[in-house]
Structure 1
Amino acid sequence: MTESRDPPTGCAMFGIYSGMFRRRRSASMTSLHRINATEAEAAAPAAQANPAHRKAAAVPHDSSLVRRPSALPVPAQNGAGARAAPTAANERGSRPVPAKAANGVGGARTAADPASEYTGMAAELDKMILDHQRVKGTTQLVRATSGNMMLHRNLGNLNAGAGGASARSSLERGVKQANERKAPNGYAFSGMGNIVKESNKPAAGGDLCRALSHRTDPEKLKEMGNEEYRQGHYAEAVALYDQAIMMDARRPAYWSNKAAALAALGRLIEAVADCKEAVRIDPSYERAHHRLGGLYLRLGEPDKAIYHFKQSSKESTVADVSRAQSVKSRIAKSSDARRLKDWITVLQEAQAAVSDGADCAPQVMALQAEALLRLQRHDEADAVLAGAGAPRFGVDESTKFFGTFGHAYVLIVRAQVDMAAGRFEDAVATAQTAFQLDPSNREVTIVQRRAKAAAAARLRGNDLFKAGKFAEACAAYGEGLDREPGNAVLLCNRAACHAKLGRHEKAVEDCSTALAARPSYSKARLRRADCNVKLERWEASLRDYQVLIQELPENEDVKKALSEVEAKLKSQRNGGAPARPQH
């Protein structure tokens, strides 16, 4: 049965001929040295009898095809000072061509027959392979059929691939792909030149990539960005607005729309910069003014927010200006209460400022977290700064936007929250950054010293505890608590020392203090429950284990301890031995 095939393209033929002559060359090269040796033996007597014939026998290799290394001096033999001439045995680039070898078209060629030497495309390929073998795998340049200079390992635009694959494997792979794939116009893909993407493979990014690659009209890109924004694809919208800006940066709407998408991604400081650019291009662009006012309000800059709201009388409402004025008043009251150490008022006013719109203001969040710390509500303070809705800005951009003093205050509050949560190394690093920003600030200096001292005391106490020196470890943790009163981690660690020393009452006290600051601190609750078991306080221990089983439902030790405590309590209620009185 006859099968119709499309005629192969020139590139496909190139690959077929290359593979054929490479295989032929690999077979012929095995006998090349044997032929050389035979001819050399046959020519040796004649060469000795006729020096002129010896000169004619060595046909020099074509120097235009391979870049030769310069002739190197040969060491003098037997003390002779004259330099010996390079020969076929000691010069790599000038080895004599054998009198007989298989040529690229299947015939024999000799040195006396220059007309038959390397003719045609296949013969040139054959010679190129021989040149490659002579330079022994180096990346010297050779002359190809087209006259372009190419590397042996990269024929045309074919890549060698991972692991140093040869040009032959790349070419054969290209021929295989040519036979398997067909272009829309009916010709086979050759694998040469530029890479052609398959028509049935979807482009990454869908419409976005197609829009960017075709460089659509900027207004069309803006509309596409608006559609992505409405669907909640904010990153895609930013990319489309960026492309529109690249094509026409004088349109303020592009900058303003991009700012809206950035704000939706939480990148408020970048959004402010884009809104400012829109206003710079068109100072009367009210929508950009209104958007900028809203951004400043969220970032806790009420004065700037009020200014831009007033510049957009058609976009802004009285409620917008009223909210900004309320935030300004709340922040001022909170700052005044902080100087008076009225932490309840600080907390109330800061929370009200967040409700009025300053939900991403680092200074407002820091005021709220500091107040919670002073009120011994460490878990809540940690949630304010580390929660999902907490603002996260880089040090550089925050310092540039909020100023050195404002950002240093945020950092020292964060350092104290980290210490309360037991992240001592983070606390030290954050406090050090704050000190570098504002070294003359006395409050920053105090927090830095406290963080370093508390971290050092905890590390020293841990080492002593591991060494079994429980009394010394207890004293070390106490020194840390002198620097950082109410620290739940230090209290829990000191409670462990008390328990090892048999002072279960003191251990319960430390655990209770730690839990008052951090109710979710499971380690402290477990330790207190264990100490209450030692004191035979079954009801108190039962309450702790019931909380723990909710927090750690898969913990087998907690399940077992809870069952034992329930059995002990049931036995006591059924007339067992009376328990010790609780204190």
Structure 2
Amino acid sequence: MAAELDKMILDHQRVKGTTQLVRATSGNMMLHRNLGNLNAGVPGASARSSLERNPANKPANERKATNGYAFSGLGNIVKEPRAPPASSELCRALSHRTDPEKLKEMGNEEYREGHYAEAVALYDQAIMVDPTRPAYWSNKAAALAALGRLIEAVGDCREAVRIDPSYGRAHHRLGGLYLRLGEPDKAIHHFKQSANDSTGADVSRAQSVKSRVAKCGDARKLRNWITVLQESQAAVADGADCAPQVMALQAEALVKLSRHDEADAVLGGAPRFGVDESTKFFGTVAHAYVLMIRAQVDMAAGRFEDAVATAQTACQLDPSNREIANVHRRAKVVASARQRGNDLFKASRFAEACAAYGEGLDRETGNAVLLCNRAACHARLARYEKAVEDCNGALAMRPAYSKARLRRADCNVKLERWEASLRDYQVLIQELPENEDVKKALSEVEAKLRSQRNGGIASRSQQLL
């Protein structure tokens, strides 16, 4: 078994850069790109397995990379192995016989090729063999950061500087992680500890983020949402691109400015950390604020049940916060009104459904989903003008809301406003190019307009005669 493991290392060195299987036999079922699976069952292992810390408890090839980073799966390509040895035996053999430097070099190769999950698994194995080498922890942190697992990366970088407080590269990496997560004071501290690796520009960027976040706080108190938006966007540009609080400030400003689609896009692109993980890292109050804003964005997007659940979690984290309590109460009222309206609509009680949606709009003015639902009630009651007004309001909040645009186009057809309807259908055919109903409706409206124009020409000709 030990000979097989040594052979695996040699084979990998011969085929540098390949992503194929290095060696797999009935005596050695360890894959070059699946080394992380060997963490299980190692007695006394001091390294933390990155795969065991997968929050979704899924195989790596089923997880999606966050924050736009590349991700390569760890799928096991060997099928039905014959008499595979116990994983614990392989782990013991690996721990005793494999040089951790070779594992680090293999991890470096995987990292350079963009196979970050495989690199993490290899660095984990090197740490298992020798946990006293700070470079192993620092390199693993780099791979975790590339996967968007920034808080885990911070923990490994901190371990590297604990082992060697003078390790400049780890301090620099740690400073960069803290900056991305919106912790500028800690970033500045670690940048200054890595004099040879950091530059004055690194410290300046961290100081800029600190200043911009402070300006956001002041502008928020004054309800100056334009300034909050500008400063939070600038903070992201300065390096705080994964900072939940900064992203939340940006999303809150967009919601207050009635730019709901943009707010949803901002939070949709932000990294999501677990409640316990975020509370421990950022603090209870800070994480509760992020959840409160996420609840408001969920409401604006029509995810009412999600909004209620998220606001409730925020209340539990910061029970004395009146603003969070108000958001929670409002979310419950709006969710209830939407559900009641839906039930009445299904029962063809359109006037009552219209009133129910109106109650929700009393608490959440300008909610695009409630406006669109109320427009449907107006349309069923042949109140097409009112339906168009509600659709106008919904599209003002969410310009890409296809359902509201489709409903407005249909109501304008009923009102014989062919040109207004044509404009909406021309937008819809770009958004929904395969939708047969839209194609048909567009064709019919174009035919009506041609007929109308031709009729006008004929009428003018008769007058001339």
Same fold (TM over 0.5): yes
1:214 CA drift (Å) = 3.6
Cα distance between partner residues in 2 of 1:486 and 1:412: 19
- Identify the residue that residue 249 of structure 1 maps to in structure 2: 131
Cα distance between partner residues in 2 of 1:416 and 1:198: 52
Which consecutive segments of 4 or more residues in structure 1 shift more than 6 A? Answer: none
1:204 CA drift (Å) = 5.3
- Identify the residue that residue 453 of structure 1 maps to in structure 2: 333
- 1:530-569 → structure 2 map (5 Å cutoff): 530-569=410-449
Q: Does the CA-based 8 Å contact 2:259-2:398 persist in structure 1?
A: yes
Note the alpha carbon deviations across 1:433-452, whole angstroms, 9 max, x for none.
Answer: 11111111011100000100
- Identify the residue that residue 235 of structure 1 maps to in structure 2: 117
- Identify the residue that residue 472 of structure 1 maps to in structure 2: 352
Note the alpha carbon deviations across 1:152-194, whole angstroms, 9 max, x for none.
Answer: xxxxxxxxxxxxxxxxxxxxxxxxxxxxxxxxxxxxxxxxxxx
Cα distance between partner residues in 2 of 1:566 and 1:335: 52
Cα distance between partner residues in 2 of 1:288 and 1:199: 39
1:575 CA drift (Å) = 2.0
1:577 CA drift (Å) = 11
Cα distance between partner residues in 2 of 1:358 and 1:575: 62
Aligned pair in 2 of structure 1 residues 571, 451: CA closer, same or farther (>3 Å)?
same
Query: Structure 2 length as normaliser, TM-score?
Result: 0.79
Q: Does the CA-based 8 Å contact 2:168-2:194 persist in structure 1?
A: yes
- 1:11-50 → structure 2 map (5 Å cutoff): none
The one-letter code matched in structure 1 to 2:221 is R
Aligned pair in 2 of structure 1 residues 470, 434: CA closer, same or farther (>3 Å)?
same
Q: Does the CA-based 8 Å contact 2:24-2:30 persist in structure 1?
A: no
Aligned pair in 2 of structure 1 residues 207, 530: CA closer, same or farther (>3 Å)?
closer
The one-letter code matched in structure 2 to 1:262 is L
Cα distance between partner residues in 2 of 1:199 and 1:555: 52
Note the alpha carbon deviations across 1:547-572, whole angstroms, 9 max, x for none.
Answer: 11111111111111111111111111
- Identify the residue that residue 76 of structure 2 maps to in structure 1: none
1:200 CA drift (Å) = 7.6
Say whether residues 1:353 and 2:202 are aligned partners. Answer: no
Q: Does the CA-based 8 Å contact 2:24-2:31 persist in structure 1?
A: no
Note the alpha carbon deviations across 1:29-76, whole angstroms, 9 max, x for none.
Answer: xxxxxxxxxxxxxxxxxxxxxxxxxxxxxxxxxxxxxxxxxxxxxxxx
Cα distance between partner residues in 2 of 1:423 and 1:295: 32
Cα distance between partner residues in 2 of 1:427 and 1:244: 44
Say whether residues 1:407 and 2:287 are aligned partners. Answer: yes
Say whether residues 1:339 and 2:221 are aligned partners. Answer: yes
Q: Secondary structure in 2 aligned to 1:468?
A: coil
Cα distance between partner residues in 2 of 1:260 and 1:562: 53
Compare 212-221 and 450-459 and name the one that shifted more: 212-221
Q: Secondary structure in 2 aligned to 1:435?
A: helix
- Identify the residue that residue 180 of structure 2 maps to in structure 1: 298
Cα distance between partner residues in 2 of 1:248 and 1:230: 23
- Identify the residue that residue 251 of structure 2 maps to in structure 1: 369
The one-letter code matched in structure 2 to 1:543 is R
Q: Does the CA-based 8 Å contact 2:33-2:118 persist in structure 1?
A: no
Cα distance between partner residues in 2 of 1:228 and 1:448: 46
Note the alpha carbon deviations across 1:407-430, whole angstroms, 9 max, x for none.
Answer: 000001101111111111111110
1:254 CA drift (Å) = 1.1
Cα distance between partner residues in 2 of 1:503 and 1:296: 56
Match of 1:440 among 280, 299, 320: 320
Match of 2:32 among 200, 206, 229: 206
Query: Structure 1 length as normaliser, TM-score?
Result: 0.63
The one-letter code matched in structure 1 to 2:450 is K
1:321 CA drift (Å) = 0.3
Cα distance between partner residues in 2 of 1:219 and 1:572: 80
- Identify the residue that residue 391 of structure 1 maps to in structure 2: 271
The one-letter code matched in structure 1 to 2:276 is D
1:206 CA drift (Å) = 2.6
- Identify the residue that residue 390 of structure 2 maps to in structure 1: 510
Match of 2:189 among 307, 330, 342: 307
Higher RCO structure (Cα 8 Å, ≥6 apart): 2
Q: CA RMSD in A?
A: 1.9
Give unmatched runs, 5+ long, in structure 1.
1-196, 579-583
Give unmatched runs, 5+ long, in structure 2.
1-22, 39-89, 459-465
Cα distance between partner residues in 2 of 1:529 and 1:295: 49
Q: Does the CA-based 8 Å contact 2:228-2:250 persist in structure 1?
A: yes
Cα distance between partner residues in 2 of 1:347 and 1:201: 60
Note the alpha carbon deviations across 1:428-477, whole angstroms, 9 max, x for none.
Answer: 11011111111110111000001000000000111111112111111110
1:207 CA drift (Å) = 6.5
Cα distance between partner residues in 1 of 2:390 and 2:384: 10
Aligned pair in 2 of structure 1 residues 198, 450: CA closer, same or farther (>3 Å)?
closer
1:262 CA drift (Å) = 0.6
Cα distance between partner residues in 2 of 1:201 and 1:568: 76
Q: Does the CA-based 8 Å contact 2:171-2:190 persist in structure 1?
A: yes
Q: Does the CA-based 8 Å contact 2:107-2:123 persist in structure 1?
A: yes
Cα distance between partner residues in 2 of 1:522 and 1:458: 19
1:225 CA drift (Å) = 1.1
Say whether residues 1:379 and 2:261 are aligned partners. Answer: yes
Aligned pair in 2 of structure 1 residues 380, 253: CA closer, same or farther (>3 Å)?
same
Note the alpha carbon deviations across 1:497-518, whole angstroms, 9 max, x for none.
Answer: 1111121111101001101111
Aligned pair in 2 of structure 1 residues 451, 203: CA closer, same or farther (>3 Å)?
same
Q: Secondary structure in 2 aligned to 1:575?
A: helix
The one-letter code matched in structure 1 to 2:294 is R
- Identify the residue that residue 13 of structure 2 maps to in structure 1: none
1:198 CA drift (Å) = 8.2
Aligned pair in 2 of structure 1 residues 301, 199: CA closer, same or farther (>3 Å)?
closer
- Identify the residue that residue 275 of structure 1 maps to in structure 2: 157
- Identify the residue that residue 529 of structure 1 maps to in structure 2: 409
Cα distance between partner residues in 1 of 2:444 and 2:456: 15
1:199 CA drift (Å) = 3.9
Q: Secondary structure in 1 aligned to 2:455?
A: coil
- Identify the residue that residue 342 of structure 2 maps to in structure 1: 462
The one-letter code matched in structure 1 to 2:343 is D
The one-letter code matched in structure 1 to 2:32 is G
1:574 CA drift (Å) = 1.2
Larger Rg: 1
Q: How many residues are aligned here?
A: 380
1:205 CA drift (Å) = 2.5
Identity %: 82
Say whether residues 1:223 and 2:49 are aligned partners. Answer: no
The one-letter code matched in structure 1 to 2:254 is L
